């Protein structure tokens, strides 16, 4: 099953609801005890995700694509990045994340950015 790291600028309700709705899904947020601390720069977050096998869930549409290109250019890889849809409700975005987690292979989104909704 996929593992999600929720970016620090994403509403904490995402972390709470994903954990509540699927207790088997491993979801942590930047700033949690086992996650990168708050204020960690995006390139370092990508390295952490790579080292720990997490998909990054973010609302950073502007700079994250640039950071991913740089990350890959340095020979790194990442399980993937999901960018939340600001026009969808929190519930719709959470539903998408749950469906993706339950129906995807571990490396299906490697080195890619996916904009929600996927379907």
| pLDDT tens per residue, range 33-53 | 999 999 999 999 999 999 999
The residue count for the chain: 119
State which residues form the domain around 32.
3-115
Read off the pLDDT band of 1 (50, 70, 90). confident
List, in sequence order, every residue forming a beta bridge with 115; answer none if it has no partner: 83
| pLDDT tens per residue, range 4-28 | 999 999 999 999 999 999 999 999 9
Total number of domains constituting the chain: 1
| pLDDT tens per residue, range 61-112 | 899 999 999 999 999 999 999 999 999 999 999 999 999 999 998 899 999 9
**Predicted TM-score (pTM) of this structure:** 0.96
């Amino acid at each position: 099953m996929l593992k999600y790291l929720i970016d620090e600028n994403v509403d904490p309700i995402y972390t709470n609801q994903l954990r509540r709705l699927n207790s088997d899904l491993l979801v942590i947020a930047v700033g949690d005890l086992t996650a990168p601390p708050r204020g960690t720069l995006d390139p370092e977050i990508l390295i952490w995700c790579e080292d720990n096998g997490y998909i990054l869930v973010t609302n950073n549409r502007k700079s994250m694509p640039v950071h991913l290109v740089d990350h890959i250019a340095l020979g790194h890889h990442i399980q993937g990045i999901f960018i939340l849809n600001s026009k969808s409700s929190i519930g719709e975005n959470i539903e998408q994340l749950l469906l993706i987690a339950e129906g995807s292979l571990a490396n299906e989104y490697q080195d890619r950015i996916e904009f929600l909704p996927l379907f």
